[in-house]
Amino acid sequence: MKLVDAMVVAALTTAACPAGAADIPPAERRSGYSFMAPDSQAMQNDDTTNPGMLWVLDGEKLWNSKAGAAGKSCADCHQDARASMKGVAARYPAFDTTLARPVNLEQRINLCRVRQQQATPLAHEGRDLLALTALIARQSRGMPIETGADPQLAPFVGKGRDLYMQRQGQLNLACTNCHDDNWDKRLAGAAVTQGHPNGYPLYRLEWQSLGSLQRRLRACLTGIRAQPYEYGAPELVELELYLMSRARGMAIEAPAVRP
């Protein structure tokens, strides 16, 4: 375990780091939750008011429905999600040996659909994929993020970090310029926050919907007027992977609420 940590730390620290960018010390890490107004926090805290729970309920139905040529449901292989999916979202993105690269939770669900259920993959950001992801992520709520411990992931974490540090877009900004260097500030009206991935998929009031982490990353990329990567693109998965390893130890809040 020590060796694994050391490898990941090495991968994180050898990447080029522009002047000014400094990692947030673990004791100062704060979930996006802590930047929100009390009414939004209350909405997230209570399952009866948290809109994300509607997707979790839909996810339970899908979990138990048979699909594809194999005629199997998720439950036929994994039984009760409450037990079998506990802690899973806290370990994603994870290394897939067949693809020899990391896959995020949405991609894992679609791999099960294709490989096990012999069904077509679900569309990114569609209701069904969000519902199944929300159901699975819900089972890790309160658990600490563990992503990145697998040494096979180290080079991909490094690529994600490079992307996080790279200035891009017409506004020529990097993720780190806002989320490491200016997280205590406000961008027009909005709290910048530390950009942690621990709430996803989450209900964003601005979207009036549940959305994935990749939707959020694409919004930040478009915000700096960069070309957003397509859903499922390796670069976005690597960014997700870096964000999750950066947030290691923070508690999962899915499905969270954000402004």
Partner 1 sequence: MSVPILAGALLALPGFAAAQELRNYAVTGDAIPVSLTGAPGDPARGRSLVLDRTSTCILCHSGPFPEQRFQGDLAPSLTGSGSRWSEGQLRLRLVDASSLNPATIMPSYYRIEGLARVGAAWRGKPILSAEQIEDMVAYLATLRE
Q: Is 259 exposed, middle or buried (0-12, 13-18, 19+ CB in 10 A)?
A: middle
Q: Kindly tell me which residue out of 11, 175, 237, 247 binds ligand HEC, with binding defined by CB under 6 A.
A: 175
Contact 242, 23 (CB under 8 A): no
Q: Is 220 annotated as catalytic?
A: yes
Residue type, 26: P
Place of tokens 């960018």: 21
Query: Are the CB atoms for 219 and 206 separated by under 8 Å?
Result: no
C-beta closer to partner 1: residue 121 or 232: 232
Of 244, 216, 214, give the one whose Cα is nearest residue 231: 214
Sole window of 1-9, 92-100, 106-114, 174-182 interacting with ligand HEC (rule: CB under 6 A): 174-182
Indicate whether 183 belongs to the interface with ligand HEC (CB under 6 A). no
Q: How far apart are CA 217 and CA 99, in angstroms?
A: 23
* Residue number with CB closer to ligand HEC (113 or 179): 179
Sign of the four-CA dihedral 190, 213, 179, 34: positive
37 binds partner 1 per the rule CB under 8 A:
no
Report if residue 215 touches ligand HEC, rule: CB under 6 A. no
Catalytic annotation, residues: 220
- Applying CB under 6 A, the residues found at the interface with ligand HEC are 32, 164, 173, 175, 177-179, 187, 190-193, 195-197, 199, 216-217, 220-221, 224, 239, 243, 258-259
**Rule CB under 8 A: which residues touch partner 1?**
18-20, 166-173, 177-178, 181-182, 185-189, 192, 221-222, 225-228
